[in-house]
Amino acid sequence: MKLTHALFAVLIAAVGFTVQAAPPPQAGALKGEVLEVQNVEGYTYLRLKTAEGETWAAVPTANVKKGAQVTLVNPALMQNFESKTLKKTFDKIVFAQLAGPGAMPGAPQGAAHPVPATAAEPTVKVAKATGTGAKTVAEVVTGKAALKDKAVVVRGQVVKVNAGIMGKNWIHLRDGTGAAADGTNDILVTTKDAAAVGEVVTAKGTVRTDVTVGPGYVYAVLVEDAALRK
């Protein structure tokens, strides 16, 4: 099934973590040497030499040079992906975010207008929720297997909102725990409650793992049907 950039952007922007990923040297990351760079509006396409062989990848627009060593986080593997801009169909391509120098801090995957490379990612520090089921963001992400189908309470700052997708609002929370390099600093929450970027909220919902959202889209962990308290 071929998907355009627009459809891919909607799905990936809505959900931050994908487990249908190219085989990485470490969980949630793909490393390699840049063999070729092609820039188009909103994206930088990279042909990489990795330990597993060559692969194409696409990241939000970034300043990357041929020969550079890069690390990509939150990789999502797409098959038979058609880029109308490049007039090319990729048998396999990895959509991800660039970590380290050249990265666009805070730019959502598939963003049409990524944050400039000079922007500094804001520091988030939010106190952990209290009471039964209270967890930090990192505790939910790293402990997803043990927490599967259990109720949790997570307090964090809203860093991204995609409203009204599939009848829900898709909200990313961070509390200062975890690391951007392996994606443990961000948890996705689905809710019918409204929230704005920058607000600190407490979300109470159920941990779900390996969640399928449409054919071929499986997400590692999220907190589902959460009630938000501000």
Q: Residue 160's pLDDT band (boundaries 50, 70, 90)? A: confident
Same domain, 213 and 149: yes
Q: What is the pTM of this model?
A: 0.53
Q: Do 166 and 87 reside in the same domain of the chain? A: no
pLDDT at position 100? 60
Q: What is the pLDDT of residue 199?
A: 93
* Tokens 């330990």, located at residue: 51
Using alpha carbons, list the distances in angstroms from residue 88 to 2, 4, 38, 64, 92: 12, 11, 12, 21, 12
- Note whether 88 and 44 are same-domain residues: yes
Over residues 146-163, mean pLDDT = 93
Residue 188 lies in a domain: yes
Domain membership of residue 158 (yes or no) is: yes
- What pLDDT score does 203 carry? 98
**Is the pLDDT assigned to residue 167 strictly greater than 60?**
yes
Least confident residue range of 68-72, 95-99, 214-218: 214-218
152 has pLDDT over 50: yes
pLDDT bin (cut points 50, 70, 90) of residue 75 is confident
Helix ranges, the chain (H): 5-14, 137-142, 144-147
Is residue 93, in this structure, part of any structural domain at all? yes
The pLDDT of residue 143 is 96
pLDDT at 116: 31
| pLDDT tens by residue, 101-141 | 444 333 333 332 233 333 345 578 999 999 999 999 999 99
Cite the beta strand spans of the chain per DSSP E.
Answer: 29-40, 43-50, 53-60, 69-83, 88-99, 134-135, 151-165, 168-174, 187-191, 200-212, 218-229
Lowest mean pLDDT among 37-46, 70-79, 149-158, 209-218: 209-218
- Residue 18 domain boundaries: 5-99
Domain assignment of residue 109, yes or no:
no
Domain stops at, among 74, 99, 124: 99
**Number of domains the chain contains:** 2
Q: What are phi and psi of 184, to 5 degrees?
A: -85, 5
Is 86 part of a structural domain of the chain? yes
CATH code for the domain in which residue 149 is found: 2.40.50.140
Average pLDDT, the chain: 77
Per-residue pLDDT, 9: 45
In-domain check, residue 124: no
- For 171-230, what is each residue's pLDDT tens digit? 999 999 998 878 899 999 999 999 998 999 999 999 999 887 654 456 789 999 999 999
